[in-house]
Amino acid sequence: MTSSKCPIEKIVKRDGNIVDYNRERIATAIFKAAAEVGGRDREMAEFLAKEVEHALVQAFIPPHWPSVEEIQDVVEATLIKHGHVKTARAYIVYRAERAKARQARAHVIEASDNIPYKKIYEVLRWNMDHGCETVDGLNQIIAGGEFPDLIKACEERYDAEVRAGAEKVIERLPDVRIVIVAGPSSSGKTTTTIKASEKLKEAGMELVAINIDHYFFDLEMHPKDEFGDYDYETPQALDLKLINEHLVQLLDGKTIRTPHYDFKTGKRQLDVHELKLAKNQILLIDSLHGLYDEMTKSIEAKKKFRLYIETLGQLRNSDGTFMRWADNRLLRRMIRDSWHRNLKPIQTLAHWHYVRRSELKHIIPFIGSVDYVVNSAMPFEMPILKDRLFKFFPEAMAMYKEDAKRQDAYMRARRVFEMFNPMTAVTDDSCVPKRSLIREFIGGSEYQY
């Protein structure tokens, strides 16, 4: 945390933005570097961060603030001065790798998580038009009694996007035989599937979902991560061979029997749920890994329509930091896992490292192949999620601060805590429609999940 006595109040980021100085970030960076070479002493990292801060105070006089690069130079010098040569080397290597990566991106036009900038800009403009692009703006909406109006506007915007996606499917009939609703964990794929089905019914077509979750192998066969936790997020946890066999059979007009997977027992039973496609039916795949080529490689491209959904939120705090899309989804999943997968919210937080890793490997690279993108972020959900989850983040920060292997969880917890802390919580969710996408996570939906 920033010391009240420290005259270093701000730092200059590489893009020129000025943000709040936070000594704890320096301590975490040192701790992570030390962990690379076997270090486990968080107190020593905090001591060294204070030494870095002391050096910065001597070198910079307000309002001349240090840059990120200058702070990192001081960190290196401090580590070497105090005899932590191995840690200094690990820190230097990390800096060099990051610099090389930035240089490689210097002449490349990028978009966050492979989403086109045009789509992101549209989301930001919508939020600005509705006064909900900042935490302060949300607080003012709540204080002014306009929260129900924001909910209504968010729901209308999302429903319109889903309808537009369904209309594109209709335009490609009769070639399209499979609609894939894909997206990262807790983006709202299931609700989007249901709403798209409702629109297609108006055109005389019916979407019939195949539940990919039932194709999980028995838990004991799942790959494990470096912590020994079972990894539900990798496509290799699914019986991809059986999925492809069943897809071919379904499109050939045959009847199949899908498996049934029980998340509480970690066991599956084969040949349980009967499924067959009629002439006016389109198979719908609602899956985290819907874009992963191996899942549907047996089906030619023209028969597939790919709809991608992501929480493209554009909400920032007072220092201009935007909430990460993955953090938005983490919050949703912390609630859903507590009642659907019998996991405590802090367990979901701790395991999120491989959720995100799997997304980057098996989802993000394939977004360029999608036919349509839906934004499922609802600015109104944040105050509601804060009410349910805020209490867990100080506990998680204390739990993982000293754990070198769980620094990602610690940093996520701190990041969400800092975003939530000044936000007004909303306890009463009665204004949220029973068919809202958010009900998929907080409960109370008319839809059956």
Q: What is the pLDDT of residue 424?
A: 98
Distance CA 151, CA 111 (A): 28
Q: What is the pLDDT of residue 444?
A: 94
Q: What pairs with residue 307 in β-bridges?
A: 181, 372
Residue 330: which residues within 8 A CB-CB, separation 6 or more?
Answer: 186, 348, 349, 352, 355, 412, 416
**Burial, 390: exposed, middle or buried (Cβ in 10 Å; 0-12, 13-18, 19+)?**
middle
Residue 293 has which token pair? 């080529």
Residue 186: which residues within 8 A CB-CB, separation 6 or more?
Answer: 329, 330, 332, 333, 336, 441
With tokens 């496609």, the residue in question is 277
Residue 44 has which token pair? 């020593």
pTM of the model: 0.76
Q: What is the pLDDT of residue 433?
A: 98
CA atoms within 13 A on the CB side of 414: 16
Q: What is the pLDDT of residue 109?
A: 40
CA distances, 198 to each of 163, 174, 188, 306, 309 (Å): 9, 18, 16, 18, 17
Q: What pairs with residue 257 in β-bridges?
A: 274
Alpha-carbon torsion (119, 441, 427, 408), positive or negative: negative
Domain ranges of the chain: 10-105, 112-442
Question: What does each of the 449 residues of the chain score in pLDDT, given as a tens digit?
Answer: 444 568 888 888 876 678 888 898 899 989 988 888 888 889 999 999 999 999 988 888 777 788 888 898 899 889 999 999 888 888 888 787 777 766 665 544 445 678 888 899 899 999 999 999 999 999 999 999 999 999 999 999 999 999 999 999 999 999 999 999 999 999 999 899 899 999 999 999 999 989 999 999 998 887 666 666 666 678 888 999 999 999 999 999 999 999 999 988 889 999 999 999 999 999 999 887 889 889 999 999 999 999 999 999 999 998 888 999 999 999 999 999 887 777 889 999 998 987 888 788 888 888 888 999 999 999 999 999 999 999 999 999 999 998 888 888 999 999 999 999 999 999 999 999 999 999 999 999 999 88
Domain 112-442 homologous superfamily, CATH: P-loop containing nucleotide triphosphate hydrolases (3.40.50.300)
Distance CA 163, CA 312 (A): 18
- Spell 49-74 as b/e; 16+ CB within 10 A means b: bebbbebbeeebeeeebbeeeebbeb
